[in-house]
Amino acid sequence: MKVERGEVEHVALLARLKLSEEEKEVFTSQLNAILDYMEKLNALDTGAIEPTFHVVSHCNIMREDEVRGSLPQEASLENAPDRAEGCFRVPKII
């Protein structure tokens, strides 16, 4: 087994996911199955192949430095669960 349950719990914490005990079991075995499959790919010799960083072959898509305008404050805050004084309001940090 490559992935232990503890790692699944750690990744879930980093991703802010709340998993039930059964889910932890399921994901541990599923992640291991995925990694096993990767092992198969590792059997191939890719030493002479350039790494692929992106699925499309384009490079350098850029825009000029022009201000295009933004959303009005009201629209920006529309989905905010809580707000005050033009800001998103969140539980106190620090």
Partner 1 sequence: MEYETVIGLEVHAQLLTASKIFCGCSATFGAEPNTHSCPVCTGMPGSLPVLNRKAVEFAIKLALATDSHVASFSLFARKNYFYPDLPKGYQISQYELPLSTEGYLEIPVAEGGMKRVGITRIHMEEDAGKLFHDEAKPFSYVDFNRTGVPLLEIVSEPDLSTPEQAADYLRQLRTILQYLEICDGNMEEGSFRCDANVSIRPVGAEKLGTRTEVKNMNSFRHVERALTYEIERQKKVLEGGREVIQETRLWDPAKGVTEAMRGKEEAHDYRYFPDPDLVPLTISLQWVEEIRKGLPELPLQRKGRFVKEYRIPEYDAGVITASKALADYYEECVRLFPEPKQVSNWIMGDLLRLLKEDEKEAESSPLSPKQLAAMLGLIKDGTISGKIAKTIFEEMYKTGKGAKEIVEEQGLVQITDEAAVAQAVAEVLQDHPKEIEEYKNGKAKLFGFFVGQVMKATQGKANPQLVNEILKKKLS
Nearer to partner 1, 22 or 74 (CB): 74
Contact 11, 27 (CB under 8 A): no
Where does this chain bind partner 1 (CB under 8 A)?
10, 14, 16, 53-56, 58-73, 76-77, 84-94
* 70, 74, 76, 79: CA torsion to nearest 10: -160
d(CA 43, CA 38): 9
d(CA 29, CA 23): 10
Shortest distance (Å) from residue 61 CB to partner 1: 5
The closest alpha carbon to 35, from 12, 63, 75, 4, belongs to 4
Nearer to partner 1, 22 or 72 (CB): 72
Shortest distance (Å) from residue 32 CB to partner 1: 19
Nearer to partner 1, 15 or 43 (CB): 15
Shortest distance (Å) from residue 27 CB to partner 1: 16
